[in-house]
Structure 1
Amino acid sequence: MLNKKRQFFKKITSAAAMAGVLCLIACSSEKKNESATENNNTEEVTATKAKTKVPAAPAVGQVNVFMEISGSMKGFMPASNGGQITQFQETLDALLATVQQNNQLGKKQFYEVSEKISPAEYSQVSKHLRYGLEATASSSTIPAMLDSIISNYSQPNGVNVFISDFIYAPANGRAVNFVTTDIYQVVAKAQQQGQAVSIFGVTSDFKGTFYPAVKTTRKTIPNCCDSEVPYYLWVMGKPEQVQLFNRQIMAGKFVDEVHIGFEFTTPVYSVLDKYLPVGNWYCNSSDTGCRAITVSDLKTPLEMVVGLNLTSLPASYTNEAYLKKNLKIQAENSDAQITGIYTAAQFRTQKGVAGENTNPLKPYSHFVKVKFSKMAAPEIELQLSLQNQRPAWVQARTTTDDSQINNAGGKTFQLAGMVAGVERAYGATNNSVFTAIIQAKKE
C-alpha cells in the first residue's frame, strides 16, 4: 500500500514538472510571438512612413540666364565710374545672386551674349556685372539672339532669362522697319513649343557710349546719358515654369510687366450679401459661395459687392489703374455697371464695413461694387471680365528715333513694335484674363 502511494505521488510530481516545462515552452513561444508581432507592427509603421512622403514644393527645373555684354551694355556696367555703381548693377547683382542661391530652382547656367552665346561661370558674370566691362564686342541682332536662345536652349522644365537693352540695330538700317515681323517669326517658334513670355521693363542711369538704332546724324552718342536708359528681362518657357519663376524671383522687383501666352484660371469669387447691400435681392448660396442671386423687385436699384481673389495674377493685372481701365461688366437685358473697385485694405475702411465682422472677407484680395436697375428678361447673366490689354508703359517707353535720347529722354526704339510681334505670335489681342459669371433671376 505504501508503495502504491509513493508511485501515485511520483506520477503527480512528474506530471507537474512536465506541465511546468510545457508552460515555460508555451510562455516563451508566446512572448516570442508577441515580440515578433511588435516587430512586424513596427516594421509596417516604418514602411508606411517611408512610403508616405511629403510632396516636394513645385520647383523650376533649370534656369538659363543670358546677359548681353556687347558695347551697348557697357554704359550700364561701366568699368570706371568714380566708385559709383549704376542702378543696373545694383538691381542685377541682387537678382542673379538670388537665382544662384535659391534652392527652389534646379540647375543654373549662365551665359554671356555678344556676337555669339558663350557659357560662363556665375563668378565671371558677377565680376563683369560688379566691376564693369573693360573690353566689349559688337553683338548679333535682337531677333538673332532670341532665335538662338529659343532654338538651342529651351527645355520643358525650365526657363530662359534674357537681359538686354533690346536695341534693334540690324546691319541693313532699312530692316528696322520690319522689327514686328522679325520678332514675330522668332517668337512663333517659342509659341509652337508651348512656351510663354514675360517681359519686365526697368530703367537705370547710364554712363558711357549709347548706340542708337536710328543713325540719322551719328552712329554713337558718347558721354551719355542725361536721363535713365531702359533695359529689359525676357523670361521664356512653359507657362507653369515661367509663373513659378516669376513668383519666386521676379515678384515685387519690377513695376513694368507684360505677360503673353498664358491662360489664367478663373479666380475664387462670390457675391457678398452682408456688406453694403442695396435693394430687394438675396443670395442663392452654394458650396462655391454666392454666384447666383434672386431679385424680388427693382423699385430700388440693386447694389451688391463681389469679392475676387486675384493674388495668383501678375501684379501688372491687379494695380489700381489697370483694374479701373480694364475690368468690365457685360449683361444683356440690363444696365449693370461697376461703381467701385477696392483692394482689401480699402474695402475694410468703407462705411458699413469698418467695425463689422470681416472674417468672410479674408478669401478675397479685391472687391467690386456692381449696380443695376433694369432686368428686361426673367434671368440675366452678369459677366465680370478683366481684359488683357497691352500695358500703357509699353507705348510710353517707345520711340521711332532714339538718336535724340538726351533731348527726348530714355526710350527704346520700336519697343511697341517688338511687343506687337510677340502678341502676333500668340494671337494675344483683346482677349480676357478671366471672366467671373453671376446669375440673376427675378423672383
Structure 2
Amino acid sequence: MTKKDIVARGIHALYAQDPQRADWLLWGRRVDPVSRRGFLKKSGLLAMTAAVGAQIPFWENMPGGLIPAALAASPEPFVIPGREGLRVLNDRPINAETPAHLLDDKITPASRMFVRNNGIPPVEASVDPATWSLEVAGESCQNPMQFTIAELKARFAHHTYQLQIECGGNGRAEFNPPATGNQWSTGAVACPSFTGVRLRDVLEACGIKEDAVYVGYYGADTHLSGDPTKVVISRGVPMAKALRDETLIAWAMNGDDIPALNGYPLRLVAGGWPGSVSGKWLKKIVIRNKEHDGAKMTGHSYRVPCAPVAPGTEVPKENMCVIESMPVKSLITFPQSGITHPQADAFSVRGHAWAGDLTVEAVFVSIDFGATWQQAALTRPANPIAWQHWYAELRFPMKGYFEVWARAVDSQGRSQPMVLPAWNPRGYLNNACHRIAVKAV
C-alpha cells in the first residue's frame, strides 16, 4: 500500500487491507503493540482533526487501527421496496442491513427488519397459506405428522413474544484480515414481536424419543444454482433450546403476516442464537438423535475456533465449535452518527442491548475513547430474549470531535470488548463497542 492508494481507494479498503499501515498513511499514527493505543504526531493530529471537522479532546485514548466513526458511514447502493433506508449488501441472494439510527423503535417494524437470505425465497404470489403444510419427522420422532397452518392455529395455544434475532456475522466488516461473506456493519439485528405456537408443543404432540438430542429444519427456498435437489440451508438447535417457551413456529410478525423476505408464511424463531437457526419458509422439522448435519451445520459454517487463534490462522474443521447463544452487545440508535451538538447543552443518547439467552445487567457509555465510563439507565426485557432499552445524558467538557461509545455487561458479568474481539475465519460474533461521532460546537 502506498500513498497513491489514499486517492485511488476508499478508507474502508485501506483499513481492511492493513489497518496499521492505513493509520500511518492517513494520519502518521503508530500503534503500541501492547496497549493498542495510537500515537499521533502533531501533523497527523491536525490531519485527523481536519478530516472529522473539529479538535479531538481525548485523541490520546483512541485505539490504533480504528476508522474514526465520523468517517465510517457507507452510502446506500440501492433499495428494496418497502425497506427504504436499508443498506443492501448483496442482491443474489438478497441481504440488507439497517443503519443503527433506523433501529430506534422498541419493537422493530417490518420496514426496518434486516434481510439475511442464503437462497432464493419462494415467489410470494405462489404461496398459499391455506395449503402450506409443515412436516414433523426424524429418527427420534415417535409419530411423524403433517400440519397445515390452520391446524397449527386450531390445535395449539398461541403465544406472542418480542424476540431478538441477529445474524451471526453481524459486524464482520471490522475483522482483519477480512473474513469472507456479507460485510455486515452493525445492522443485521432486530427485535420484532412474533406470534405462533411453541415448538415444544408441536414436538411433544408428535412424540419425542428418549434418544433425541437435536432439532433441524428445512425451508422452501431455492438454491442459487437453481438445482431443486440442493438444500440451501438446514440448521438447528439442541433439544434444550428447542423446548424453551420462547422458541416458536410463527406465522405473524408485529400482528401481521411475516414479510415475504423474512419467511412468509411460516418460520421458526429461536431468538438469541444466530439468526440462521430460525429457519424461514418452514416446511419440515426433524427430531434427531445426533447433532443435525444439514447444509451449513458442518465445516466452518456458523462455527468459531474452540480455542483462540492468531488472525489469519487456518483452523481445521475438527477444531471449530458450533455457535450457540450470542454474546452481549449494544447499539446506539439515537442520535445518528455525525451530528453537530451545542457543547453547552446536555446530550441525550439511547439504544438497545441484548445478550443471547441471558439478560443485560448494565450499560455504560464513554466520551473519551473508553478511558472513563458513565452508567446508563436500563430497562428490563419485555420477556426473555427481548432486547433491553437504555438511556443516558452526557456533557461534553469542551468543543471538538467526540465519539460516544456504548458497552453492555451481561448477567454473568461478561462485558463487550472495547475493540475487535477474537478473530475467526468466518468473521462471526463481533460484539465490539458501538460508537457514534459527535461534533460539539
Superposition TM-score tier, normalisation by shorter sequence? under 0.3
Higher helix share: 1
State the structure with more CA Rg: 1
